[in-house]
Structure 1
Amino acid sequence: MTYYLLANPNSGAGKGARTLEILIPYLEKNNYDYRLFKTNAPGEEGDLVKQILELKVAEDHLVIIGGDGTISLVINELPEEEAFSYIPSGSGNDFARSLNLILDPIESFEAARSGMNHEIFIMNYQSKGLNGYALNNIGIGLDAAIVQAANEGKLKQFLNKLKLGSFSYILTALHVLITKKAFPALIEIENQQISLEKTFLMTFTKHPYFGGGVKISPEASNQNADIHLVEYSKHSLFRTFSLIPTVLRGTHLKHPLFLHRVNPDFSVELAESQPVQIDGEIHHLAAADRLSISTEKRMIIY
């Protein structure tokens, strides 16, 4: 058996590189046969997946090393029937957290090497301008604005160096909460339409976590087919800030100002273009471009 390692050394502000520094000597010491494929620039994951699939045979093992963005990009190129393992090396590691995956590189590799196949569900999204797969969340509006500001700002880089990367999302959110404008949206669930005039936060999620451990929907699970929608319309700044502690505690869905729906399929249409974050990567959804979201099965070994 050959272990095909697809690694992003830059994930988690260099955590991916540090993972390789620990893991590679261990593999060589124990005479594990491996081949290493490293990204040198953002977005190279897809090309590396294609190279690996040309070489890999059935008994070989694909191991992804990186953060939530890395594994999301890999999944978008990986055939549905191709199982994989994952060694978390990001700043947020929400996908790993959702499955209680081991963070230590050597322990994580050994769990993958001797592990079992586990069926999970991921989101498949389709519109005229967007299509692909998401492991974690699809967020429109505030959600996307927070991710965009956090990824582009120097604060995340600084906090990552202090191993406090998840706090960048919280601190950035405080600023975006003040400046982000509401927008109209139409949601369709099983032929039922929900018209929203002042949408502020709209997140579709496959597991509880967002932004490095915040429980946006505590009961969500990637081990069933259900997608959880969490929506919050814009209210006064005082009211919004008063609800932040409930979000951090994961009790916000008990509050009547939050819309929470659970279903295997959703569609959403906007009256105006909005930023969209898909597993932490920023895109844009154009006005009147209906976005349909459903689920598909995948297999992970751990």
Structure 2
Amino acid sequence: MGKVEAGRDPFERRTYYFIINPVAKNEGSLKIWEKTMETLEREGITYNYAFTEYKGHGVELAREFLRRQGDAILVAIGGDGTIHEVVNGAAGFPSARIAYIPAGSGNDFARGEGINSRPSKALEGLLHSERERIIDLGYYKTSSEGYFLNSLGIGLDAAITRVVNQSQMKRYFNKIGAGKIIYFAYFLWEWMTYKPDEMEVVIDGERHTFTNTWLVNISNHPYFGGGIKISPNAKPDDGIFHILVIHNIPRLKLLLMFSTVLWGGHLRIKGVDSFEGRTIRITSSNGAPIQADGDNVGAGDVCIDMQQQMVKLVVQGE
């Protein structure tokens, strides 16, 4: 467990607990945290903070903070992976409240929630014009289990996520402000080499079988992959998953299809099927990889269930 640093009196009722990923955005999150601390000190805000030190540490820190004060406001500073860990740590603490200051390269959750992309503005909204919103989570069980905020994918998107997360080049490209290049490069590689799978998808008890399946995406939010609006109609508070299955599309046409995602044109293409549901079971014949909020969580088969009104999200007031 990492050292938990204290700002002011931690026993005052309204305490903010900040969980910071120090390597997010190539350590740009550290500069964001320094400016955040200056604001907190200047305004006399009670706060505690800790830095994550390894994968899964955000889960542990969130639980540690909430055991001290169950109704605290946990504030994640980092990317989608950081807020993903904080939310997983907060599961089981019904009085917990979650806030987010985006400091990553993708920031899909912030984009979908309308959280200001400028950290100073996001903090200002949190401190001075906050409101609470209760949102849903997806629960998954495969070789591991947990919750996701944005989406879960099985197939091509998870294969891309896997190689990007393992890449030694990712940090270098992020450092020079060209993080999108590494994603695009690995997308092209996986597009050329990935082998589509046969998948059985059971949605609320209704069975569907797809051959030559590129991917199945289960969305609780519109965005994934750093701004790709994969499910334009997905909402995190309606109790429904939006399910997208891409199958039986030739390799070249698949590349052209992804060029239409920005304006939602992919939903009209033959071989792109969309569904809605609350309980999903997916079986892949060749053990396709699985990702949840950009974190690789297993391969093969997965069960997903909608967990309604699971998180109290503190966002900027209207």
Shared fold, TM over 0.5: yes
Deviation at residue 237 of structure 1 after TM alignment? 2.4
Q: Which amino acid aligns with 1:194?
A: H
Deviation at 1:165, TM superposition (A): 2.7
Give the aligned partner of residue 96 of structure 1. Answer: 110
Q: Residue 251 of structure 1 corresponds to which residue in structure 2?
A: 265
SS of 2:56's partner is coil
Residue in 2 that maps onto 1:20: 33
Q: Deviations over 1:215-268 (max 9, x none)?
A: 111111113111111111143322222223212433101112201111222221
Question: Quick one: distance in 2 between partners of 1:62 and 1:266?
Answer: 30
> 2:205, 2:153 → 1: CA distance?
22
Query: In the alignment, what sits opposite 1:169?
Result: 183
Residue of structure 1 equivalent to 2:132: 117
Tell me the amino acid that sits aligned with residue 295 of structure 1: Q
Q: Which residue of 2 aligns with 1:66?
A: 78
Which secondary structure does the structure 2 equivalent of 1:139 belong to? strand
Unaligned 5+ segments in structure 2 are 1-13
Give me the whole-angstrom Cα distance separating, in 1, the residues matched to 2:249 and 2:119: 44
Matches within 5 A, 1:251-270: 251-270=265-284
1:290 CA drift (Å):
4.9
Query: Residues of 2 paired with 1:231 and 1:5: CA distance?
Result: 37
Q: Encode CA deviations 1:172-215: one digit per residue, 9 max, x unaligned.
A: 21221110001111111232210112111211111111111011
Q: Give the structure 2 partner of residue 235 of structure 1.
A: 249
Which residue in 1 is equivalent to 2:151?
137
Q: Which moved more, 1:115-124 or 1:239-248?
A: 239-248
Question: Structure 2: which amino acid aligns with 1:119?
Answer: I
Work out whether residues 166 and 211 of structure 1, in 8 Å CA contact, stay in contact via their aligned partners in 2.
no
Deviation digits for residues 262-298 of structure 1, max 9, x if unmatched? 1222221222322111111112233xx4523323321
- 1-structure distance, mates of 2:120, 2:302: 44
Matches within 5 A, 1:41-60: 41-56=54-69, 58=71, 60=72
Identity across matched positions, percent: 29
One-letter amino acid of the structure 2 residue matched with residue 108 of structure 1: A
Amino acid at match of 1:93: N
Q: Are 1:13 and 1:161, in contact at CA under 8 Å, matched by a contact in 2?
A: yes
3-state DSSP class of the match of 1:65?
strand
Q: CA deviation at 1:63?
A: 1.4
CA separation of 1:244 and 1:46: change in aligned 2, threshold 3 A: closer
Match of 1:198 in 2: 212
Output the amino acid matched with 2:30: A
Tell me which residue corresponds to 2:6. Answer: none
Deviates more, 1:13-22 or 1:206-215: 13-22
Distance 2:125 2:157 in 1: 33
What is the root-mean-square deviation of aligned Cα atoms in Å?
Answer: 1.8
Q: 1:63 to 1:73 in 2, by over 3 A?
A: same
Contact 1:46–1:73 (CA under 8 A) maintained in structure 2: yes
CA distance in 1, matches of 2:107, 2:47: 24
Aligned partners of 1:88, 1:222: CA distance in 2, in Å? 18
Conservation of the 8 A alpha-carbon contact between 2:140 and 2:302: no
Q: Following the alignment from structure 2 to structure 1, what is the Cα–Cα distance between the partners of residues 267 and 184?
A: 18
Native 8 Å contact 2:102 2:110 kept in 1 = yes
Q: How does 1:215-234 map to 2 (within 5 A)?
A: 215-234=229-248
Q: Is the 8 A contact 2:18 2:75 kept in 1?
A: yes
Determine if the alignment matches structure 1 residue 87 to structure 2 residue 87: no
The answer to whether the 8 Å contact 1:138/1:278 transfers is yes
Q: Structure 1 pair 84/32, CA: closer, same or farther in 2 (3 Å)?
A: same
**Residue 89 (structure 2) pairs with residue 77 (structure 1):** yes
Contact 2:211–2:248 (CA<8 Å) still a contact in 1? no
Report the alpha carbon displacement of residue 32 of structure 1 after superposing the two structures with TM: 1.4
Letter of the aligned partner of 2:119 in structure 1? Answer: P
Deviation at 1:18? Answer: 1.8
Answer yes or no: is the 8 Å Cα contact 1:265–1:293 preserved in 2.
yes
Distance (Å, rounded) in 2 between the aligned partners of 1:19 and 1:234: 45
Corresponding pairs, count: 298
- For 2:189 and 2:293, the matched residues in 1 are separated by 21
Evaluate the alpha carbon distance shift between residue 238 and residue 107 of structure 1 in structure 2; reply closer, same or farther with a 3 A threshold. Answer: closer
> Can you give the 5+ residue segments of structure 1 that lack an aligned partner in the other structure?
none
Q: Within 1, Cα distance between the matches of 2:67 and 2:179?
A: 36
Aligned-partner Cα distance in 2 for 1:89–1:169: 18
Q: Compared with structure 1, are the counterparts of its residues 74 and 57 closer, same or farther at alpha carbon in structure 2 (3 Å cutoff)?
A: closer
